[in-house]
Amino acid sequence: MSIIIKSPQEIESMRIAGRLASEVLLMIGEHVTAGVTTNELDNICHDYIINTQKAIPAPLNYRGFPKSICTSTNHQVCHGIPGHRRLKNGDILNIDITVIKDGFHGDSSMMFCVGKPSVKAKRLIDTTYQAMKIGIDMVQPGVRLGDLGHAIQRFSERHHYTVVREYCGHGIGRIFHEDPQVLHYGTPGMGMALVPGMTFTIEPMVNAGKRHVKLLPDQWTVVTKDHSLSAQWEHTVLVTEHGHEVLTRRPDEEF
């Protein structure tokens, strides 16, 4: 496994890309309303990234992905392709944003509720956010990736949810997906030890039902096999000398 340790100059570029990704998510929130299509949300984000941020939407044409953002609703786990389906009250939606600025990637996703969510959906969303935060809070030099994964898994399962195992966090920098893989389950004391200068995403996918998923014929959209609700949150994290920095942190978040 080849880990790319970022220089101070590269870290500063990562901060800029991360801030831009967070700004897209802040911008799009007011547009997530009943009646809008995910394709319309994609168009708004694309225009904002290209024309306002003067950046590049990383997903567009990445390995053939046809859109600028990922939109995953209800039982869709990840990598949903924006389309003509109109959102309705009660839907939950993950929007996944990755921007490229001056050659560096910033990657973040968050959950949105259309109207008032069900109690079940809100509890899943909140628990998944806390699971991500638990993983992020552990990041510091010397901690092993298995420690992070185990903590996320234990917290999620304690709340009677399951963690998706087929998809995981990843190193990020000049390359969209680089080493290491960051699993959201695992065994304490196992895996690579974190060192300063590493940058990677933590992005647990948590299901209300069983953990099993399947890939739809579009070869991108992942859904729960039992059609149970799924939620995901994602941040890009830097390992610092004494802890961590959340590069995609939004102003309303405490890290």
Q: What is the pLDDT of residue 255?
A: 87
Q: What integer is the mean pLDDT of 150-178?
A: 98
Evaluate whether residue 40 is within a structural domain: yes
Pairing of strands 222-224, 213-215: antiparallel
Q: How far apart are CA 242 and CA 227, in angstroms?
A: 42
Number of domains making up the chain: 1
41-93: pLDDT as tens digits: 999 999 999 999 999 999 999 999 999 999 999 999 999 999 999 999 999 99
Q: What integer is the mean pLDDT of 24-36?
A: 98
101-128: pLDDT as tens digits: 999 999 999 999 999 999 999 999 999 9
Residues whose CB is less than 8 angstroms from the CB of residue 86 and which lie 6 or more positions away in sequence, other chains included = 34, 35, 36, 37
Q: Token pair of 2, please?
A: 């080849």
Among the listed residues 6, 2, 19, 3, the one whose alpha carbon sits nearest the alpha carbon of residue 246: 19
31: containing domain: 8-246
Residues, the chain, total? Answer: 255
Sign of the alpha-carbon torsion through 205, 209, 211, 216 = negative
Reply yes or no on whether the pLDDT at 154 is more than 90. yes
Q: What integer is the mean pLDDT of 148-168?
A: 98
| CATH number for 187 | 3.90.230.10
Evaluate whether residue 251 is within a structural domain: no
pLDDT band at 2; cut points 50, 70, 90:
confident
Q: What integer is the mean pLDDT of 214-240?
A: 98
Evaluate whether residue 3 is within a structural domain: no
Q: What integer is the mean pLDDT of 236-241?
A: 98
Evaluate whether residue 234 is within a structural domain: yes
